[in-house]
Structure formats: C-alpha cells, structure tokens
Structure 1
Amino acid sequence: MEHDVALITTLAAAFGFALIFGFIAERLKVPALVGYLLAGIVIGPATPGFVADISTASQLSEIGVMLLMFGVGLHFSMDDLLSVKRIALPGAVVQMSLATVLGLGIGLWWGWSMGAALIFGLSLSCASTVVLLKALESRGILESMNGRIAVGWLVVEDLATVLILVLLPPLAGVLGGSGPADGAAPLWQTIGRTLLEVAAFIALMLIVGRRALPWLLWQVARTGSRELFTLAVIAAAISIAYGAAQLFSVSFALGAFFAGTVMRNSEFSHRAAEESLPLRDAFSVLFFVSVGMLFDPAILLEQPLQVLAVVAIIIIGKSIAALGLVLALRYPLNTALTVAASLAQIGEFSFILAGLGLSLGLFSTEGMSLVLAGALISIALNPFVFAAVEPIRQWALRYSALARNLESREDPYAQLPMSTERKYLEGQVVLVGYGRVGRRIAEAMQEMDIPHVIVEQNREQVETLRKTGKAAVSGNAAEPAVLIQAHIAHAAMLVIATPDAINLRQMADTARTLNPGIEIVLRTHNEDESELLRKEGIGTVFLGEEELAHGMTKHVLQRFAPRPVTAAA
C-alpha cells in the first residue's frame, strides 16, 4: 500500500536539520534562531539536494504562528507595560515610524510599488522579542530597569504590529495588491467592517472567554490528567485562532494572541505556559524553518548593496533613532545604549508581516529574501552589538563631556526633596526595590510607623510614591550616589528586596563603606548563592523556598501540636 509521506518527510527534515544547525549556532554563541533559518535554506528550493514540501511546511508554519502568538499573549503583562509607558509608548511609536519611513524611502528609490515599499519598511521596523529576551537573560539584566524598558518597548511594537496585521488585508487593494478593497465596497466601509469584526471578537473574548477559559481549565485540572490539561491549552489556542479567522475574519495571529491574554487571567496561567512550552517551541522551530525555505541565498551575491542597505537600516538607523529618542526623554546614556542594542535586529513579526504581504500580492519574493537576509545578519551580529554597549559607554564617558552630562543628568526624582522630614534622614530603613516583595515590606513598615526610604529604578513608580507622601529615590542602588541620596550613612538598616544577584554585593559594600555599622537584610532565589552570601557574612539572607517551607511547617505544627491537659476541678 502506498502512503503519502510528504508530512512525515517534511517534519523529519525540518527537525533534523534545525537540530544540527541550531546546535552549531549555539556553539558559535549565535542565537539558535539563525540555525533554524539556515536549516530552512538547506531544505528549500533555492539550494541543491533534498527539497521539502513547501505547501506542507507553510501550513505547519501557520500553526507555529498561532502558538508563537499564543505564547506572547500568555506572557503579556499590562502592568509591566504601564510601568514604563512614558518611555516605551512614545519611543516605540516614533522609532517604528522612522524605521518605516527609511524602509519606504529606500524601497521607492529602488523602483518598488508603494505597497511593497511600505511592507518592506514595516518589516524592518519591528524587532524580535524572542531574540531580545534571550539576549537580556544571557547578560542577567532582564529584571533590571533597562531590561524592563527594552521589553516594554518591544511589547508596544508587538501590539502596533498586531494592529497592522488587522488593517493590512482591507487596505491591500488600495496599496496595489489583492484584497477586500478590490471589491465594490468603499474603502472606509471595508476598514469599518474589519474594525467592527475585531471589536466584536475582542469583546467576546473579554466577556465570555475571560470566564469560560479559566472555568474550562479548572474542570480539566480536576481530572488530575496532565495530558488532558495540555490538550485543553493547545486546543483552546488553535480553536480560538481558527474560530476568529472563520467567524470574525481576524488573522490566526490575533486570535491566538488574545487566547493567550485571556488565559493569562486564569490561576492556571503559569501551568498552561509550562505545559504548552514544548509544543510551542517545536512549532516555532517549524515556523522559522519554513521562513528560511523562502530565502534565496543568491541575493547575497546578486544584490550585495541592497543587503548592506537593509542591514544598515536595522543596525545603524534603528539604533541611532532609539538612542536619540531615549536621550530626548531624559533617560541616562546607559539606558539609551541598552535600548538601542535591543532594537538592532528583526525577527518573527517581520517574517509574519512580510509573509502576509506576499500572500496579499503586495510583496515580492525578492523583498522577502532581503528581509530574511537582514534578519539573519542582524540576529547573528546582535550579541556583538550588546557586547559593545559597555565599552562604548566607557569610551564616551572618558573622552566626551557631553556623554558625562547625559549619564549624570539632573533627575528630579534622584534625590530626596529638601522638605523631607528628619525621621527619614536618620535611623531609617533604606528599602531597595518596590516589587511584589518590597511593596509588602513597605506596607508593613508603614503600618508600624517605621520610617523608611524606598530606592527604586522605575522613575514612574518613584513619582507615584512621592505623590502619596512616601520618601523615595530613583536610581540604581549599586551606584554610591543613589544610596547617598537615601541617606545610607545615617540609616539603621538596608533591606535589599530585589533579586539582583549581579549588583547585590556592590550595594552591600557601598552601604558598609558609608555606614560600617549598618544592618543588611537581603533576599535570594538560589540556594547555592544564599550559602555563599551567608559564609561571606554580608548580612541576614532570606531564601524564598526556605521561608515558604518555614511558614508551611509552622502552620502544620500549630495545627497538630499537643494541647495542654487541664487538671480536673
């Protein structure tokens, strides 16, 4: 009996070559994503030898897009975005606009149509969240203020790109492609209908989905079956994406994104993310492989100047725009350089946009190859761009007075107001970090009327604290000037409530130098690190797991402790 094994052959080739090239990429200290794209090139039609089934790979990549967007929605936090909204929102919008204009201009200069040039510019404007997260994690700065700003910036870019994905199909006809706008209905009616359909879908998800999905997960979780729970998560993601496309004419990507955002509200969101992660990773690999299959390596030899121009826009143009915007918003040079390095690459959303343009007849395979070339080169170079941030900063601070002024520019929230009460300036507690742990400590001290000064990197958070009458200073507590502004020299205690393992010792050393007798209390998530800190005698160390076990043990012992026997009267 003959069997059609196109699907099995495509899967075997895609996963096999992705593993080989991904492993090689990681060994070369390059993101594995580059290896996945190279695997797609190898099994694509542009290279000799085995050629995988493109139509099968295309459908598999659609599932990859769904699960990729579902993961983005599952980890999307409005609170994280709002915490950096004053820099992330205007910065991302202006930077995307500038990058789009650069791409649009160069596309028109090359003789492309308006639609193709616009798709090209939009594809170059959005950076890869996946690449950024891996870069920040590898440098241990994901939880830092600079890391949060960079991630918030890219979240705004992702949301803007989602909106573009919604509006692009109805505008395709006007831009010279094949789309709904080619019909008899006027453009404003087409766009209005599209926005109404999207609004109806979002309303349905927020009203019904927010209640139905958590209830469904709870019912499945009660069965105790891990397989059923994983199946429920994946079925919800793909079914909602498919239903959104069929009933509301919404893209698979948008449907899956909102499925993730709604599921995030469930108490099982962490488990849903954990259980779906292997399948999301697998199909994400297939997505990148299928994108690589569309790339024609010959373009590197045939159009080297065009490729160089694309890379220049991505790495130089976007970085300079971001650098200027962050500095214009009065953030220090270090933050500006970190954000600039974060945006010096493009990735998954660029592929999705370019692929949509290709399907709508707006974009050409030549343009797609240029976008892919820009992505491959910029992602491969991104680790080196990040590595250059600190040397560039040190060089600028050494030889440029302007750079020194930008790094230490006056910040109204970097020092306590002159009107601060004396109780906050002597014998107080200096609390570093106002996250989930720091906030609870501050609330407890407030109830006990214990004077304290909060040190927090988030300027917007400090501004909010100041408005409520709390003593707060903006800045990185690893810098002596920041602790000096918190009057650490006369403080009774330093409480480090942020899990910043890199700067923790520097904070403690600075505090001890300025105040040898100060008591230091700190937290850690790592058992080995807690042992080292205790041996060094830095201060009183609290390990999260230990405190949780202590609290639970105390509750159990109180419940089952023998009760005293009372003598009979």
Structure 2
Amino acid sequence: MEHNIPLITTLAAGFSMALVFGFLAERIKVPALVGYLLAGILIGPGTPGFVADVSLASQLSEIGVMLLMFGVGLHFSLKDLLAVKRIAVPGAVVQMSLATLLGMGVAWWWGWSWGAGLIFGLSLSCASTVVLLKALEARGVLDSMNGRIAVGWLVVEDLATVLVLVLLPPLAGMLGGSVTDSASTGSLWLTIGKTLFQVAAFIAIMLVAGRRVLPWLLWQISRTGSRELFTLSVIVAAIGIAYGAAQLFSVSFALGAFFAGMVMRESKFSHRAAEESLPLRDAFSVLFFVSVGMLFEPVILLEQPVHVLGVVAIIICGKSIAALGLVLAFRYPLNTALTVSASLAQIGEFSFILAGLGLSLGLLPDEGMSLVLAGALISIALNPLLFAAIEPLRRWILQRSELARKLEQRTDPYAELPMSTERRYLHGQVVLVGYGRVGQRIAAAMQSGGIAYVVAEQNRELVEDLRQQGIAAVFGNAADPLVLVQAHVAQAAMLVVTTPDPLDMRQMVETARTLNPGIEIVLRSHSEQESELLRRDGIDQVFVGEEELAKSMSGHVLARLGAPAAA
C-alpha cells in the first residue's frame, strides 16, 4: 500500500534537523534559533540533498506564527510598558525610523524600488523579542531596570510592526507591488480607512467581549477537571481567534493571535494557559524558523558579500549607535544605554514575517529575503558576544573618553533630593530601595503609619511621578554609593531593599554599613540558599517569599482550628 506522506516527511526532517543543530548551537553558546535556521537551510531547495515540501512548511509556519504571537500576547503587560513609556515609545519610534531610512538608503544604492527599500528597511528595524528575552534571562537581568526598558522598547517595536502588517496589503499597489482585491475596489484612502475600521472593530470586540467570554469559557472547562480539554481550549483560542480575525475582519493571523493572548492574560488562568500551550507553541515556533531557513539562498554569501556586510552593519552598528545616543539623551546611565543597544543589535521573527509578506505582495525581491535571513543569522550568532562585552566596553569608554565620564557624572535633577525636602526625610528616615509591587506596599504601610521614607529607584519616570506626588525619591542604582548618599543613608534609621539582585544587595549593605554602622538592614530574597548566605553576613532580617507565605498560611490554619501558634 502506497502512502502519501509529504507532511510526515517534512515534520520528521524539520524536527530532527532542528534538534541536532539547535543542540550544537547551544553547546557553542549560540542561541538555538540559529540552529533552527541552519536546519531549514539544509533541508531547503537552496542546498543539495533532501528537500522538504516548501508549501507544507509554509503552512506549518503560519501555525507557528499564530502560536508565537499568542505567546507574545500572553506575556504582554501594558502596566510594564507604561512604566517605561517615556523612553520606550519615543526611543523605539525614532530608532525604527532611523534603521528604516538606513535600509532604504542601501536599497536605493543597489537600484531597488523605493517600495522594496521601505519593506527592507522595516525588516531590519525590528529586533527579536524571543532572542532578547532569552539573552536577559541567561544573564539574570530580565527583572532589572535595564531589562524592563529593553523589553518595553521591543514591545513598542512589536506593536508598530503589527500596525505595518495591517496597513501593508492595502498600500501594496501604491508601493509598486501587486494590488490586492480589497485595494482595487475603491480609492486608496477608502481602502485604508476600511482596513483600520475592521482592525478597530476586531480590537473593540476582543477588549470588550473577549475579555469576558474567554475567562468564562476557561473557567467552565477547568471545572471538568480535564487537562486535555483545557489545553485544547487554549489552542483553539489561539488558532481559532486568529483564523476568525483573518476571515471576518481581514486582520492578519499574527494580530489575531496576539490579541487572543493579550485578552487571555487578563484571566486568572493566564499562567496555566501559558504553561499548557508552551510545548506546542515551542514545537511550531521551531517549524516557523525552520521554514524561514528554507527560503534562504546560501549562494548570496558568495555572490554578494558586500551586501551582506552592509545589512549586518545596519543591524549591529546602525541600530546600536542610534539606541545608544537616544538612551543617553534621556539621561540614563551608560550601562543602560549599552544594554539597550546590545538588545537591539539583532533581528528575528517579525523581520521574517514582514519580509515574507513583502515577498508575497511582490514588493521585496528574493534577494531581499535572503539578505534579511543572512543578517538575522549573523546578528543572532554575535548577540551573546555583544552582551558579554557590555561591562568591559563601559569601563574602556569611561577610561578613555572625557565626554563619556561627563555624561556618566552629569547632574540629573532627579539624582539628588531637592533643597526644599523637609527635614523629617533627612534624619531617622527609612531608605526604601525599589518601588515595585513589594516596595509600593511597604511604602503604603509606612505612609499610613506616619513614617518618613526616601525611595531610591532606577526608573527615572517613576521617580518623576513620585516627586509630583510629594514623595521624596532619588533616581539611580542604589548599588552606586552616590545614590545612597543622596538618600541620606548616613542619617537613616533603616535600609529596606526590595530588589532581588544579590550582587547589588551586597554593595548596598557595604555602603550603608560604612556610612552608618548602626543602621538596621532589611532585605528581600528569592531563595533559601541566598537568604542563608545573607544571614551569614550578619543580616538578620532577610525575608523569603515562599517562607513568609508559608508562615502566613500556616498561621491562618492554626488560628482557625484553635491550635497554638508554631514557635
């Protein structure tokens, strides 16, 4: 009996090669994504030997896009974005504009049409959120201020790219590509207006009805106790909403899946939804990168090496320098500027989606897709080296550049308490390091108790807001002795550190004890091992999240049952 198995063959080859090359990439300290792209190149038509079904791989990659964007939506936090909006929004817009202009410039130099140059420049302007999150997690700085700024910056880039994906089809005819059916039925502006109206209608339905219906459906399904049904419901939400959005509102699969994840995040089942969908999401995301690799023509590295170098220069140098200057212009430290620069010095999933759409609309030549892929491969492979070079580069710049030292040491109005600060904040006060969820609750308790406190926070925008509320606050990393000096730690009664970084904690403790030997220190820790090391340093008040939660819950249980409290 003969079997028609191109789908099975494509899946087997794609997953197998991705496993092998992903493993090899991780072993040499390169993101596994590079291995997935190489796997696609080897089973694609651009290399000799076995060739997988490109058409089937393309359809599988569409599922990968849906699940990938669903995952981005699940992790998208509007609150986190608003916390860094004053630097992330203008920074991302200006940086994307500059990168797009650079891409258009080299495309014009190569003799491409301006429409092709626009798509090419936009593809080079948006960095990979997946690559960034993995890089920040590997270095333990995802929850730091630098990490939040970098993630917020990329979220703005993602939202801007989603808007481009929506507007690109109706604009294709004007840009020199193939005119879509919708664009041929009326004037350009009428088509754009209709497209934006459909997108707005879809978003309104998702935000109004979706955020009520989806959580209710998940609750009903969870009551059955069936894990399989819950997982199925999450996948149906991701793919079903993406498909329905495309069919009913002419919205891209990517945007539909993104809003499905964003709405699901609002429910109390968001963490479980992310956990249940993760294996399937990872699997199809791998197929997406493999299918993208299949479109790559390796011969371009030999035929047009100068073009490839130009693309890499825009991604790694052009975008990084633009981001560096923008962050410094917003008066953030050199370390923050270098971290954001390294974060943006790569391109990934959205670049592939944009370039693929440009290819399908007849805007981008095949050479453009190959150049985007080459730039992605090289930039992602080099990205870990850029992150590793941040601190050595910062020291080198400060040692050799008088301008850099002036920028690093320049007077920031929020880096010191104003002269009008009341005396009660400058003597016997509490210095509160970090104003996140934990810090805010501690501050509220001190406020209600009439205890004076000074906040030391790395988020400059948050410090500005606190000052406007009449709360004493200084901007900067409290690991820097100057920040604690400005918070008047020498006259403080207590230092309370709510940030989780153990290295910074030790520097804060050392500075506080040097300036104020009698100060009481209260720290927050994420693990028992970490808290034990801190206690060995002579710090008695170390609070561990799980430990305090267990104490509170056990105390409640014992009190309700009338048993004596544990010692």
TM-score interval (norm. to shorter): over 0.9
Partner of 2:93: 93
Q: Is the 8 A contact 2:522 2:541 kept in 1?
A: yes
Partner of 1:14: 14
Partner of 2:414: 413
Between the aligned partners of 1:319 and 1:459, the Cα distance in structure 2 is 22
Q: Is the 8 A contact 1:217 1:268 kept in 2?
A: yes
Q: After alignment, is 222-231 or 368-377 more displaced?
A: 222-231
Q: After alignment, is 501-510 or 37-46 more displaced?
A: 501-510
Partner of 2:178: 178
Partner of 1:222: 223
CA RMSD across the alignment: 1.1
Q: After alignment, is 316-325 or 161-170 more displaced?
A: 316-325
Structure 2 residue identity aligned to 1:162: V
Q: After alignment, is 210-219 or 387-396 more displaced?
A: 387-396
Between the aligned partners of 1:464 and 1:343, the Cα distance in structure 2 is 28
Deviations 1:89-108 (A, max 9, x none): 11110110010011011111
The change in CA–CA distance for 1:422 and 1:367 in structure 2 (over 3 A counts) is same
Q: Is the 8 A contact 1:44 1:293 kept in 2?
A: yes
Q: After alignment, is 209-218 or 330-339 more displaced?
A: 330-339
Partner of 1:196: 197
Partner of 1:267: 268
Partner of 2:105: 105
Between the aligned partners of 2:51 and 2:448, the Cα distance in structure 1 is 69
- Residue 364 of structure 2 aligns to a residue whose secondary structure is coil
Structure 1 residue identity aligned to 2:376: A
Q: How many residues align?
A: 563
Structure 2 residue identity aligned to 1:119: I
Q: How does 1:146-545 map to 2 (within 5 A)?
A: 146-180=146-180, 183-545=184-546
Between the aligned partners of 1:278 and 1:512, the Cα distance in structure 2 is 48
Deviations 1:406-427 (A, max 9, x none): 1122111111111112221111
- Residue 414 of structure 2 aligns to a residue whose secondary structure is coil
CA positional deviation for 1:70:
0.5
Q: Is the 8 A contact 2:21 2:38 kept in 1?
A: yes
Q: How does 1:28-39 map to 2 (within 5 A)?
A: 28-39=28-39
Q: Is the 8 A contact 1:332 1:409 kept in 2?
A: no
CA positional deviation for 1:562:
5.4
Deviations 1:302-337 (A, max 9, x none): 100000000001011111111111122222222211
Deviations 1:270-294 (A, max 9, x none): 1111111111111110000000000
Between the aligned partners of 1:416 and 1:394, the Cα distance in structure 2 is 28
Between the aligned partners of 1:501 and 1:557, the Cα distance in structure 2 is 34
Structure 2 residue identity aligned to 1:168: L
Instruction: State the identity %.
Output: 78
CA positional deviation for 1:253:
0.2
Structure 2 residue identity aligned to 1:99: A
Deviations 1:77-128 (A, max 9, x none): 1111111111111111011001001101111111112221111100000011
- Residue 175 of structure 2 aligns to a residue whose secondary structure is coil
Between the aligned partners of 1:515 and 1:219, the Cα distance in structure 2 is 57
Between the aligned partners of 1:195 and 1:381, the Cα distance in structure 2 is 38
Between the aligned partners of 2:52 and 2:559, the Cα distance in structure 1 is 65
Q: Is the 8 A contact 2:171 2:183 kept in 1?
A: no
- Residue 427 of structure 2 aligns to a residue whose secondary structure is coil
Q: Is the 8 A contact 2:171 2:188 kept in 1?
A: yes
Between the aligned partners of 2:235 and 2:526, the Cα distance in structure 1 is 31
Q: After alignment, is 437-446 or 224-233 more displaced?
A: 224-233
CA positional deviation for 1:538:
2.9
Structure 1 residue identity aligned to 2:121: G
Q: After alignment, is 509-518 or 372-381 more displaced?
A: 509-518
Q: After alignment, is 518-527 or 479-488 more displaced?
A: 518-527
Between the aligned partners of 1:3 and 1:193, the Cα distance in structure 2 is 46
Between the aligned partners of 2:126 and 2:183, the Cα distance in structure 1 is 28
The change in CA–CA distance for 1:506 and 1:562 in structure 2 (over 3 A counts) is closer
Q: Is the 8 A contact 2:183 2:191 kept in 1?
A: no
Partner of 2:556: 555
Partner of 2:55: 55
Partner of 1:75: 75
Deviations 1:35-67 (A, max 9, x none): 000000011111111111111110110000000
Between the aligned partners of 2:31 and 2:209, the Cα distance in structure 1 is 39
Q: After alignment, is 519-528 or 305-314 more displaced?
A: 519-528
CA positional deviation for 1:535:
2.3
Normalising by structure 2, report the TM-score.
0.98
CA positional deviation for 1:462:
1.0
Partner of 1:25: 25
Between the aligned partners of 1:217 and 1:508, the Cα distance in structure 2 is 46
Structure 2 residue identity aligned to 1:18: A
Q: After alignment, is 533-542 or 146-155 more displaced?
A: 533-542
Q: Is the 8 A contact 1:519 1:539 kept in 2?
A: no
Q: Is the 8 A contact 1:36 1:285 kept in 2?
A: yes
Between the aligned partners of 1:558 and 1:165, the Cα distance in structure 2 is 58
- Residue 522 of structure 1 aligns to a residue whose secondary structure is strand
Partner of 1:567: none
Between the aligned partners of 1:488 and 1:57, the Cα distance in structure 2 is 61
Structure 1 residue identity aligned to 2:477: N
Q: Is the 8 A contact 1:457 1:475 kept in 2?
A: yes
Between the aligned partners of 2:3 and 2:42, the Cα distance in structure 1 is 25
- Residue 454 of structure 1 aligns to a residue whose secondary structure is strand
CA positional deviation for 1:184:
4.1
Between the aligned partners of 1:521 and 1:54, the Cα distance in structure 2 is 59
Between the aligned partners of 1:86 and 1:207, the Cα distance in structure 2 is 27
Between the aligned partners of 1:361 and 1:246, the Cα distance in structure 2 is 22
Between the aligned partners of 1:517 and 1:303, the Cα distance in structure 2 is 67
Between the aligned partners of 1:145 and 1:502, the Cα distance in structure 2 is 15
The change in CA–CA distance for 1:454 and 1:557 in structure 2 (over 3 A counts) is same
Structure 2 residue identity aligned to 1:81: L
Deviations 1:447-498 (A, max 9, x none): 1111111111111111111111111111101000000011111111111111
Between the aligned partners of 1:539 and 1:402, the Cα distance in structure 2 is 43
The change in CA–CA distance for 1:337 and 1:562 in structure 2 (over 3 A counts) is closer
Q: Is the 8 A contact 1:72 1:260 kept in 2?
A: yes
Deviations 1:510-529 (A, max 9, x none): 11111111111111111221
CA positional deviation for 1:539:
3.7
Between the aligned partners of 1:400 and 1:226, the Cα distance in structure 2 is 59
Partner of 1:566: none
Between the aligned partners of 2:248 and 2:285, the Cα distance in structure 1 is 25
Between the aligned partners of 2:557 and 2:159, the Cα distance in structure 1 is 47
- Residue 456 of structure 2 aligns to a residue whose secondary structure is strand
Structure 2: gaps spanning 5 or more residues = none
Q: Is the 8 A contact 1:31 1:380 kept in 2?
A: yes
Between the aligned partners of 1:452 and 1:125, the Cα distance in structure 2 is 43
- Residue 112 of structure 1 aligns to a residue whose secondary structure is coil
Q: Is the 8 A contact 2:499 2:524 kept in 1?
A: yes
Between the aligned partners of 1:12 and 1:339, the Cα distance in structure 2 is 38
Q: Is the 8 A contact 1:44 1:292 kept in 2?
A: yes
Between the aligned partners of 2:137 and 2:442, the Cα distance in structure 1 is 27
